[in-house]
């Protein structure tokens, strides 16, 4: 995974690549509606976002029909939907789609361990 908001020529670059023995996937947040699928033994493909092709679970996160871009602002729309759904239910879902206070606490512990590792020049167990 590569993330950069400061690389020259990259406004908000987030890229994921998954490489397997027979095929690979690549996604770039600056062109979020296309998933590149690479193969060793046939032509590569570009899968364009189309809610009609998504599973029911994934489709619930796509509000616009194929050919219409969803993007950065939709991230917050999905966040608020998940939070408000839990508020309406009166409880946190078993696997919330948003960061919890426990997630934030673990992040702080991780950052402190990274700093300690740097200062002591050794691996630190979290």
Question: CB under 8 Å to 15, separation ≥6 — which residues?
Answer: 1, 2, 26, 27, 28, 29
pLDDT value, residue 67 = 78
Q: How far is CA 1 from CA 13, 27, 49, 59, 97, in A?
A: 10, 10, 21, 24, 20
Per-residue pLDDT of 95-106, as tens digits, reads 999 999 999 999
DSSP output for 68-100: S---HHHHHHHHHHHHHHHHHHTS--SS-SS--
DSSP annotation of 52 reads G
Average pLDDT, 10 consecutive residues per value, the chain (126 residues): 72 85 92 92 93 88 81 83 95 92 95 95 92
In this structure, the strands spanning 23-28 and 34-39 are antiparallel
């Amino acid at each position: 995974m590569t993330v950069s908001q400061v690389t020259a020529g990259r406004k908000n670059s987030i890229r994921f690549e998954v490489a397997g023995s027979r095929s690979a996937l690549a996604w770039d947040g600056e062109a979020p509606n296309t998933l590149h699928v690479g193969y060793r033994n046939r032509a590569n493909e570009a899968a364009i976002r189309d809610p009609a092709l998504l599973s029911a679970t994934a489709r619930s996160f796509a509000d616009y029909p194929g050919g219409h871009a969803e993007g950065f602002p939709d991230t917050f729309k999905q966040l608020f939907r998940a939070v408000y759904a839990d508020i309406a239910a009166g409880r946190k879902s078993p696997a919330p789609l948003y960061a919890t206070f426990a997630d934030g606490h673990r992040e702080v512990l991780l950052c402190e361990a990274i700093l300690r590792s740097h200062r002591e020049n050794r691996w630190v167990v979290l």
